[in-house]
């Protein structure tokens, strides 16, 4: 299928269906307003994880093309920064309308390249769309501060100004939402942007950029480059890039954080997770069970806020049996199948890694209550499928608990008390999200206070904050000072200039005072 229905006249070949061309379309760079085919001789296949079909080829953007993208962004910044904020917001108003218009096309692209179900892919787009909606009104968050007469006849005020060229490096698991966490807010604050989508599913970024340009984003304000480690390092090192937003694994994130920071850039780095749910004996049974199954296996566990470990307080047996029954009932198939509950994992390598972690759990003493490793999915025999898998008797020091699995695997553990459960969760190095299921306000409040996680759910399994708040992972799940989106996001994409002004008739006393001025 023609995944890139590019309207840009600069890149007509990519609009051709692959069957006509005989080879899959090449994913274009976007440089200075033009979608252009990379001159690179090296590319990576974008593979449909349900079928192994090559959907497209993503180039390793050349260094010259990367420099051209940064230079286009630098040039566009000169006029974009002076474009009134209301005009910048209006582009976002139009963009949110166009995303709604094309949401089915975006979702189909996501399912084709990433594998999640179409319904879930709609959610991926929608949660990003909400950030675009929020960007429509961020002028108030860009307001400065003013104190009159800080000294005799002197006023001081601060202004939030854009940084210049910013860059974003994306993971595979939310091909629309994560780019939309990044560029809409950055450009509405007056910056220009260089986006590096995941090499595994770059299609949604290209479609979103087309829509942004259709919405009136001027040439050069948003640019797209492709590749892996080399282009990421080039972003970290480039003198003209002032800030880097990263979402992905800890290995890449900590490398990017230190390399880009060493070059004086701002970095916000959202990384891996191990999200826990504590289930109290008084929790509402059906609602809790549904929440655990949905948050544990939805998106095949490939969400940074997926619930991957449950700690049952006061005995797990009655819960575990029901959990296994509910998980068994889930339908595993290609995301395009209307009755699919979960699709494949992203790659053969990911499947191998997940299976190894399951095996390591078994070998270190966990009980395998449900094993999805050898699932056969009719019609999609080559897909990277793993069925829902449940391990119980998991302890804090097991490899499968210490590491992020990022697959449809739910670990179960037991604790005698809420204190013990909280301490089990807090021992884990990650601190993205954690939830409690209870009908006790006292337990919920203790959990909220003592849990070491950035995003806390109380009877809510995936507490991803809406865009007027920020995404607030902590511990090993985040590096940086200013989180994604919300007020913190606007602060990340702006710097403060403080002006001290004096407007009075100065008496020419002729005296030069070299002492530090005081009021
Ligand atoms: P990844 O780190 O493999 O890739 C992310 C990006 O970094 C890609 O664009 C990739 O090209 C680049 N990259 C990868 N390795 C690199 C290296 N060594 N040097 C330089 N660049 C490199 O992550 P992924 O597998 O695409 O995504 C899954 C991970 O993302 C999981 O750990 C998940 O928890 C995390 N994630 C976190 C959040 C969050 O908000 N905390 C959200 C989504 C995903």
pLDDT tens digit sequence for 101-111 = 999 999 999 99
- Pocket of ligand 1 contains residue 175 by CB under 6 Å: no
Catalytic residue flag (residue 304) = yes
Q: Say if residue 11's pLDDT is above 70.
A: no
Can you give the pLDDT at residue 15?
36
As a whole number of Å, the CA-based R_g of the chain is 25
Percent of the residues in the chain that have a pLDDT greater than 70, as a whole number: 95
Decide: 198 in ligand 1 pocket, CB within 6 A. Answer: yes
Measure the CA–CA gap between 272 and 477, rounded to whole angstroms. 5
Quickly list DSSP for 464-516: PPPTTS-B--EETTEESSS-BSHHHHHHHTEEEEEEEEE-S----------SP
| Ligand 1 centroid to residue 251 C-alpha, Å | 8
Q: Is 394 helix (H, G, I), strand (E, B) or coil?
A: coil
pLDDT band at 400 (very low <50, low <70, confident <90, very high): very high
Let me know: does 42 contact 206? Beta carbons within 8 Å.
Answer: no
If you take atom 15 of ligand 1, which residue's CA is the nearest one?
A: 252
14: confidence class by pLDDT, cuts 50, 70, 90: very low
Task: Supply the pLDDT for residue 3.
Answer: 42
Q: How confident is the model at residue 505 (pLDDT cuts 50, 70, 90)?
A: confident
User: Which one of the listed residues 136, 166, 304, 400 is annotated catalytic?
Assistant: 304
- For ligand 1, the distance from its centroid to the CA atom of residue 482, given in whole angstroms, is 19
Q: What per-residue confidence (pLDDT) applies to 222?
A: 99
For 158-212, what is each residue's pLDDT tens digit?
Answer: 999 999 999 999 999 999 999 999 999 999 999 999 999 999 999 999 999 999 9
pLDDT at 376: 95
Helix/strand/coil percent split, the chain, to 5: 40, 20, 40
Distance CA 359, CA 69 (A): 45
Give the residue whose CA is nearest to atom 23 of ligand 1: 248
Phi, psi torsion values for 468, nearest 5 degrees: -80, -15
Q: Of 127, 171, 304, which is best to mutate to test ligand 1, by the most ligand atoms within 8 angstroms of its C-beta?
A: 171
| CA distances (Å), origin 346, targets 116, 200, 209, 225, 343 | 9, 8, 23, 21, 9
* Residue from 59, 170, 229, 249 whose mutation best tests the ligand 1 pocket (most atoms within 8 A of CB): 249
Q: Whose CA is nearest to atom 11 of ligand 1?
A: 228
**CA 272 – ligand 1 centroid, Å:** 8
Q: For ligand 1, is residue 228 a contact (CB within 6 Å)?
A: yes
pLDDT, residue 21, reads 52
For the CA of 197, the closest atom of ligand 1 is 9
Q: What is the pLDDT of residue 65?
A: 98
């Amino acid at each position: 299928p023609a995944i890139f229905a590019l309207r840009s006249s600069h890149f007509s070949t990519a609009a051709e269906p692959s069957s006509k061309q005989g080879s899959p379309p090449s994913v274009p760079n976007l440089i200075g307003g033009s979608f252009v085919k990379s001159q690179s001789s090296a590319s990576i296949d974008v593979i449909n994880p349900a079928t192994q079909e090559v959907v497209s080829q993503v180039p390793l953007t050349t260094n010259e093309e990367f420099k051209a993208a940064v230079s286009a962004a630098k040039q566009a910044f000169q006029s974009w920064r002076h474009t009134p904020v209301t005009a910048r917001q209006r582009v976002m108003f139009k963009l949110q309308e166009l995303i709604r218009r094309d949401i089915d096309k975006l979702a189909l692209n996501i399912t084709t390249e990433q594998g999640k179900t179409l319904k879930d892919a709609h959610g991926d787009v929608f949660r990003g769309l909400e950030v675009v909606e929020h960007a429509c009104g961020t002028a108030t968050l860009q307001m400065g501060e003013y104190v009159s007469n800080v000294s005799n006849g002197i006023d001081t005020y601060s202004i939030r100004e854009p940084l210049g060229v910013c860059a974003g490096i994306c993971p595979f698991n939310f091909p629309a939402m994560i780019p939309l966490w990044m560029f809409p807010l950055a450009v509405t604050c007056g910056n220009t942007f260089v986006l590096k989508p995941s090499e595994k599913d770059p299609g949604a970024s290209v479609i979103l950029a087309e829509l942004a340009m259709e919405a009136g984003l001027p040439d050069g304000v948003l640019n797209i480059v492709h590749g892996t480690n080399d282009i990421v390092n080039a972003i970290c090192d480039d003198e003209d890039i002032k800030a880097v937003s990263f979402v992905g694994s800890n290995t890449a994130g900590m490398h990017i954080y230190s390399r880009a920071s060493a070059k004086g850039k701002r970095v916000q780095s959202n990384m891996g997770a191990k999200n826990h749910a504590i289930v109290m004996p008084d929790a509402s049974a059906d609602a809790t069970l549904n929440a655990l199954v949905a948050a544990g296996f939805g998106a095949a566990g490939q969400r940074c806020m997926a619930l991957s470990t449950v700690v049952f307080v006061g005995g797990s047996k009655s819960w575990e049996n029901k959990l296994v029954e509910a998980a068994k009932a889930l339908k595993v198939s290609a995301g395009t199948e209307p009755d699919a509950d979960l699709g494949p994992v992203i790659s053969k390598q990911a499947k191998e890694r997940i299976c190894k972690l399951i095996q390591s759990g078994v070998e270190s003493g966990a009980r395998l209550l449900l094993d999805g490793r050898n699932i056969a999915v009719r019609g999609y025999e080559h897909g990277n499928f793993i069925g829902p898998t449940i391990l119980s008797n998991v302890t804090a020091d097991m490899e499968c608990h210490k590491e992020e699995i990022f697959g449809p695997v739910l670990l179960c553990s037991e604790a005698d008390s809420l204190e013990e459960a909280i301490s089990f969760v807090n021992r884990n190095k990650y601190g993205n999200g954690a939830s409690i299921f209870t009908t006790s306000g006292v337990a919920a409040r203790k959990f909220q206070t003592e849990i070491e996680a950035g995003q806390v759910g109380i009877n809510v399994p995936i507490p991803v904050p809406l865009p007027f708040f920020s995404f607030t992972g902590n511990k090993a799940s985040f590096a940086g000072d200013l989180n994604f989106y919300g007020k913190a996001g606007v602060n990340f994409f702006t710097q403060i200039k403080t002006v001290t002004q004096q407007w009075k008739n100065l008496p020419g006393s002729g005296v030069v005072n070299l002492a530090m001025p005081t009021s």
